[in-house]
Structure 1
Amino acid sequence: MKTFSTEAICAITGSHPACIRRWSKAGLITIQHAQAGWKSDQIVDIYRVVNLVASGATLKEIRHWKIAGKQTFTPGWPAHRGELLWQLEYGSDRSLARAMRQIDHDYCGDDYIYRVLRPLNKWLREDNRPGAQNRLTRFHAAVLHRAHCVMRHAKRNNMVPVFLEAISVSDETDVWLEAIRLTRQGFKVELANPDTDKPDMVSLPYEHHLLWCATGISSSHHSAFLKKLDAGEPIRLCGPDTRITLS
């Protein structure tokens, strides 16, 4: 029977090695034998878990469904956002960090960021109820703490180095959310916020150099980007707005 490596399984299913390890530990998929590799029936199990997790189901819910032999209702992503909102309003900094860590551990990085943290960040920034600024401040601090945790782990494990240069910022929290997302994809991220309009100099070797653009890119940054791109450097634009600005 044909077998697959963990790297191949992740490429096929769109999952992450860390998630597969957690799902195996939770009993959701059959544990792989290191020498034998993953088998075809295990790929089916992983696909099933990937699809269930993408709906916002918790590992506890998926484990219960597996035992019961059928899927039932899950409150999904709104419940996770609601839990963090409750923590921001009433919980301690420690319980907020614990809740964020648990969600981070259960889901793939893209789902965690795009389905929970980024929508919550947008909602908090548009909120004008009493206490809104305090909730937003606590949320940013919690995101910063989570980013530092995962980035330290990536550094210890010698993951693929990425330089994330924020050249235009409208929301500092969103930049750190991107750092978390990239780290959860298997990168070792170094984040830089420029103080001037001059592009940052990358002193260490990086396999990828990303220019984060939230409010466009200045002509000087864009010229520097094109020169590096023409030189064959591994650089690209990312972020919500990569248009060239007049400033």
Structure 2
Amino acid sequence: MAFYSIGEVAERCGINPVTLRAWQRRYGLLKPQRSEGGHRQFDESDIQRIMEIKRWIESGVSVSKVKALLDENVVTDVPGWRSIQEEMMSMLRQVNPARLRAALVELGRQHSSEQLIDEIIMPVRLRLARDHNTARVILSLLDGALIDYAVLRIAAARKDAVKDALLVSWGNDDRTRLWLEAWRLTGQGWRVDVLAEPLDSPHPEFFPGQHLFVWTGRALTQRQTQQLAHWREQGFTVAIHGE
């Protein structure tokens, strides 16, 4: 059986070694073997698991919830999230935009932005995204309603917010998720403006004096980590949203 070092695995999977160590130590997602010298050793099954973890995270699932998915457990069933997800799936199949908008408003009254995004919206979006047939059409319908709802919530929060920020997507083209993350920031007291198009580089020099949040939706690459450090050394206020 072939074994690979953490550096070899990081290069093969496109993931920073620091991230792999965090997945093991902090989240218990990986259990590599150890060499006689104490170094991590990964086999092909470990690499397959790493790529599955990466796919879940890139689909919008938070890293803290991935282990339960990999172990085929119900992630959010304790407070009844699963039943709410099923209700939304059933509603989406009816293709009724007005009813969907009303449902989002009602759910927004009952739950925080964190709960609605993480426990209901993202699991439903993930299920729809994995279906390559008619569910993709329904996903498009849902995304349109979500952006519309997020924009309304962001606008409503402006009058009560006390601090300004600009949110930019850095290398992630999930526009729906960007608007949802902007809404999430309003729950933390931010008056948020959104740069709607994803950028390969956020260029903080274009926004002098502004608090800039950048969102990637995944662990930073080595290049992004270096770029972020460079911006901060130059005195720009740049934060990684969701870090």
The TM-score bracket by the shorter chain reads: 0.5 to 0.7
Query: Which residue number in structure 1 is paired with residue 108 of structure 2?
Result: 104
**Runs of 4+ deviating beyond 4 Å:** 193-196, 215-224
**Structure 2 CA distance, aligned partners of 1:84 and 1:159?**
34
Q: Is the 8 A contact 2:161 2:189 kept in 1?
A: no
**Structure 1 CA distance, aligned partners of 2:187 and 2:151?**
12
**Structure 2 CA distance, aligned partners of 1:218 and 1:192?**
21
Counterpart amino acid of residue 200 in structure 1: H
Deviation at 1:170, TM superposition (A): 4.8
Gaps of 5+ in 1: 1-53, 57-75, 241-247
Query: Which residue number in structure 1 is paired with residue 186 of structure 2?
Result: 183
**Structure 2 CA distance, aligned partners of 1:110 and 1:196?**
25
Q: Deviations over 1:133-175 (max 9, x none)?
A: 2111011101101111111112233442222110111533222
Query: Which residue number in structure 1 is paired with residue 148 of structure 2?
Result: 145
SS of residue in 2 equivalent to 1:156? coil
**Structure 1 CA distance, aligned partners of 2:235 and 2:199?**
25
Q: Is the 8 A contact 1:165 1:191 kept in 2?
A: yes
Residues paired across the two proteins, number: 166
Q: Is the 8 A contact 1:198 1:220 kept in 2?
A: no
Q: Is the 8 A contact 2:164 2:191 kept in 1?
A: yes
Q: Is the 8 A contact 2:231 2:238 kept in 1?
A: yes
**Structure 2 CA distance, aligned partners of 1:182 and 1:153?**
13
Query: Which residue number in structure 1 is paired with residue 228 of structure 2?
Result: 225
Identity %: 20
Query: Which residue number in structure 1 is paired with residue 139 of structure 2?
Result: 136
Matched, 1:81 2:85: yes
- Counting only pairs closer than 5 Å after superposition, residues 35-114 of structure 1 correspond to structure 2 as 56=79, 76-114=80-118
Deviation at 1:238, TM superposition (A): 3.7
Superposition RMSD in Å: 2.9
SS of residue in 1 equivalent to 2:165? strand
The farther-off stretch of 228-237 and 79-88 is: 228-237
**Structure 2 CA distance, aligned partners of 1:153 and 1:200?**
28
